[in-house]
Amino acid sequence: MAEPMIKAQNLTRMFGDFTAVDHISFEVGKGEIFGFLGANGAGKTTAMRMLTGLLVPTEGEATVAGYDVYTQAERIKKQIGYMSQKFSLYADLTVRENIRLYGGIYGLSDRLIKEKTNDLIAMLGMQELQDQKIGSLPLGWKQKLAFSVALIHEPQIVFLDEPTGGVDPITRRQFWEQIYKVADEGTTVFVTTHYMDEAEYCDRVSIMVDGRIDALDTPSGLKQKYEAEDIEEVFITLARGAQRAE
Amino acid sequence: MKPIRVQNLVKEYGNIEAVKNISFEVEDGELFGLIGPDGAGKTTIFRILTTLLKPDSGNASVLGKDVIDEYKKIRPVVGYMPGRFSLYQDLSVEENLTFFASVFGTTIDENYELVKPIYSQLEPFKNRMAGDLSGGMKQKLALSCALIHKPKVLFLDEPTTGVDAVSRKEFWQMLHRLKDEGISILVSTPYMDEAEQCDRIALIQEGKILSIETPSDITDHFEKQLWAIKTDNKYRLIQVLRGFEYSDSVQPFGEFVHYTDQRDDFSVSELEEYLQAHELQGLEINKAKPGIEDTFMRLMEQEGNHG
């Protein structure tokens, strides 16, 4: 791998005597789409919080975009984008206001924000919706916009936490095409999902069980190794072995 | 007396038509699925049938009782698990279940056999606050609470959303057991792969039912020959396929891209040559059987609304 954008070595996080993330090691390359799977409670969220500079690890090493998670968390935050289905945009601000808010948070100049806002609205074909409040838009639109806003400061890595929950199958696929596009342009994509067919859209997939990464390979490599028809079968084989009582 | 009967149901919120003239019936002991994305109107239908919301027009009845005139007779005999976790977060697991039992004038002991397969998994944590449970456990507790008064009809609004694949599979096994007990179940889900677990499904989109069928019959609506295509670079494959002059639909599907051609008689070799000319490596083209998700997308496109 040319230049790893994410590098984790024995990354660990304890809460009291509970090991939420247990010595995980992996690398994610530039422009790679990396699927981060695991059952509820396997430790995905804790791992993501460490990689996004929100939580200090108990043990182990990690760098994100070349910055150390212990000492350079603020630099990491400037280099990454984040989007979650649970929270992303402000419902009572308009499309334009949301873009401006995020542009401002990431320290873009007023001129650049204006330029980006117009580009973004044109690219998404949202001209007629630009002065509507986000809360009134269909979920599919919100998600497409949230994704673009997460990329407004041209981050090197974007973290997507269950980005496609609840949308219709066509919109879900349009969303994935947006992901392919930015990955093709060199952005690294780190994504979690409960849709197992989406795992197949990733370049490589890791599966977390009880805080560990129990499998990490290309989707076809995983299917071969576990003699499975699809990733769902691989996932169920691995996650069934979980000891942790949620 | 059908467990659920819905006729020409309409509900608007301001000028948003959430439910547009919907009709369907659920048979005795049937596991019936409402399959569709957020905003399709699923929750509104649940709220009307559980007598929490009045329709603007149309009729609905549960076990022969009208949802408006006889709502008091419906409430004691139905169980409802809303989409949003709505148990008391600051009561323990056991306190929540005891509370729901007492509201319906019964006790845990009286109906323990029915909830046992589900609740026994939670018993080791019965003193834990409901708010501290994981997603999968909250879901099991919510189902136990919806069942504790032995309802005849069960309403489950997106019980598996945000839940991992293993817990989802277990949840559906539980539903099959309840169905075997004779409980009629209306369940909604945005996961198309779960549709196959139902006896019949209604595909629903923007307040309208696109089709009601058994899971195996519904794919008959997909009239085109479907092709599953694979290469080393999926993103390029999608782009190149879209550029093919006879391209009809191009959708990523797991490791494949599903493709239909505008023409009824087309030769695979022609497509193969076209793709090879664009230097796509590791090419595989196979005939594919359309699934429920393919069918749903087809029906959505025919309705002309997507995105």
Distance (Å) from the alpha carbon of A177 to chain B's nearest alpha carbon:
7
Segment B266-285 mean pLDDT: 91
In a domain, A31, yes or no: yes
Same domain, B154 and B237: no
Q: pLDDT of B77-113, one tens digit each?
A: 999 999 887 899 999 999 999 999 999 999 999 999 9
Same domain, B277 and B256: yes
SS3 content of chain A, % helix, strand, coil (to 5): 40, 25, 35
Is the confidence at residue B52, as pLDDT, over 60? Answer: yes
In a domain, A175, yes or no: yes
In a domain, B295, yes or no: no
Segment B13-25 mean pLDDT: 94
- Whole-number mean pLDDT of chain B? 92
Is the confidence at residue B264, as pLDDT, over 90? Answer: no
Residue of A nearest to B83 (CA): A166
Name which of A140, A177, A194 is nearest B165 (Cβ-Cβ).
Answer: A194
Same domain, B229 and B176: no
Is the separation of the CB atoms in B186 and B282 below 8 Å? no
Supply the CATH number for residue A51's domain: 3.40.50.300
Contact A230 B191 (CB under 8 A): no
The residues with which B259 forms a beta bridge, in sequence order, are B227, B250
Same domain, B64 and B207: yes
In which band, very low, low, confident or very high, does the pLDDT at B307 lie, cut at 50, 70 and 90?
very low
Domain that holds residue B243: 223-289
Contact B165 A139 (CB under 8 A): no
Query: Is B169 in CB contact (< 8 Å) with chain A?
Result: yes
Burial B17-49 (b: 16+ CB within 10 A, else e): bbbeebebebeeebbbbbbbbbbbbbbbbbbbb
In a domain, B233, yes or no: yes
Total tally of structural domains belonging to chain A: 1
Distance (Å) from the alpha carbon of B38 to chain A's nearest alpha carbon:
5
* Burial class of residue B69, CB neighbours in 10 A (0-12, 13-18, 19+): exposed
Residues of B in contact with A168 (CB under 8 A): 36-37, 40, 205, 296, 300, 306
Contact B164 A173 (CB under 8 A): no
Query: Quick check: ipTM above 0.85?
Result: no
What contacts B132, CB < 8 A, 6 or more positions away?
none
Segment B172-182 mean pLDDT: 94
Residues of B in contact with A141 (CB under 8 A): 307
Domain that holds residue A82: 4-88+155-240
CA dihedral A41, A79, A143, A48 (to 10 degrees): 0
| pLDDT over 70 percentage in chain B | 99
| pLDDT over 90 percentage in chain B | 78
Query: Is B238 in CB contact (< 8 Å) with chain A?
Result: yes
Distance (Å) from the alpha carbon of B260 to chain A's nearest alpha carbon:
15
Same domain, B259 and B158: no
Residue of B nearest to A198 (CA): B254
Contact B307 A140 (CB under 8 A): yes
Supply the CATH number for residue B31's domain: 3.40.50.300
In a domain, B273, yes or no: yes
User: Worst-scoring range by mean pLDDT, A51-60, A86-95, B96-105, B181-190?
Assistant: A86-95
pLDDT at A132: 93
Is the separation of the CB atoms in B184 and B153 below 8 Å? yes
pLDDT at B306: 46
Query: Is B134 in CB contact (< 8 Å) with chain A?
Result: yes
Total tally of structural domains belonging to chain B: 2
Same domain, B125 and B193: yes
Contact B39 A230 (CB under 8 A): no
Contact A194 B252 (CB under 8 A): no
Tokens of A75: 């630099």
In a domain, B277, yes or no: yes
CA B172 to centroid of chain Cα atoms? 11
Query: Is B121 in CB contact (< 8 Å) with chain A?
Result: no
Residues of B in contact with A38 (CB under 8 A): 164
Query: Is B164 in CB contact (< 8 Å) with chain A?
Result: yes
Same domain, B43 and B108: yes
In a domain, A118, yes or no: no
The 3-state secondary structure of chain B reads CCCEEEEEEEEEECCEEEEEEEEEEECCCCEEEEECCCCCCHHHHHHHHCCCCCCCEEEEEECCEECCCCHHHHHHHEEEECCCCCCCCCCEHHHHHHHHHHHCCCCCHHHHHHHHHHHCCCHHHCCCEHHHCCHHHHHHHHHHHHHCCCCCEEEECCCCCCCCHHHHHHHHHHHHHHHHCCCEEEEEECCHHHHHHCCEEEEEECCEEEEEECHHHHHHHCCCCEEEEECCCHHHHHHHHHCCCCEEEEEEECCEEEEEECCCCCCHHHHHHHHHHCCCCCCEEEEECCCHHHHHHHHHHHHCCCC
Contact A39 B296 (CB under 8 A): no
In a domain, B101, yes or no: yes
Residues of B in contact with A220 (CB under 8 A): 255
Query: Is B83 in CB contact (< 8 Å) with chain A?
Result: no
- Whole-number mean pLDDT of chain A? 92
In which band, very low, low, confident or very high, does the pLDDT at A2 lie, cut at 50, 70 and 90?
low
Contact B300 A232 (CB under 8 A): no
Q: Which residue has the higher pLDDT, A113 or A2?
A: A113
In which band, very low, low, confident or very high, does the pLDDT at B161 lie, cut at 50, 70 and 90?
confident
Query: Is B304 in CB contact (< 8 Å) with chain A?
Result: no
Is the separation of the CB atoms in A84 and A162 below 8 Å? yes
Same domain, B47 and B182: yes
In which band, very low, low, confident or very high, does the pLDDT at B74 lie, cut at 50, 70 and 90?
very high
In a domain, A141, yes or no: no
Same domain, B136 and B26: yes
Contact B254 A239 (CB under 8 A): no
Distance (Å) from the alpha carbon of B162 to chain A's nearest alpha carbon:
7
Determine the 3-state secondary structure of A194 from DSSP. Answer: coil
Is the confidence at residue A246, as pLDDT, over 90? Answer: no
Residue of B nearest to A181 (CA): B235
Distance (Å) from the alpha carbon of B164 to chain A's nearest alpha carbon:
5
Is the confidence at residue B182, as pLDDT, over 80? Answer: yes
Segment A211-217 mean pLDDT: 96
Contact B134 A197 (CB under 8 A): no
Q: pLDDT of B113-141, one tens digit each?
A: 999 989 998 999 999 999 998 878 888 99
Residue type, A225: K
Is the confidence at residue A87, as pLDDT, over 80? Answer: no
In a domain, B299, yes or no: no
Name which of B40, B136, B255 is nearest A219 (Cβ-Cβ).
Answer: B255
Supply the CATH number for residue B229's domain: 3.30.70.100
Residues of A in contact with B237 (CB under 8 A): none
Q: Which of B196, B214, B232 is the last residue of a domain?
A: B214
Contact A170 B306 (CB under 8 A): yes
Query: Is B38 in CB contact (< 8 Å) with chain A?
Result: yes
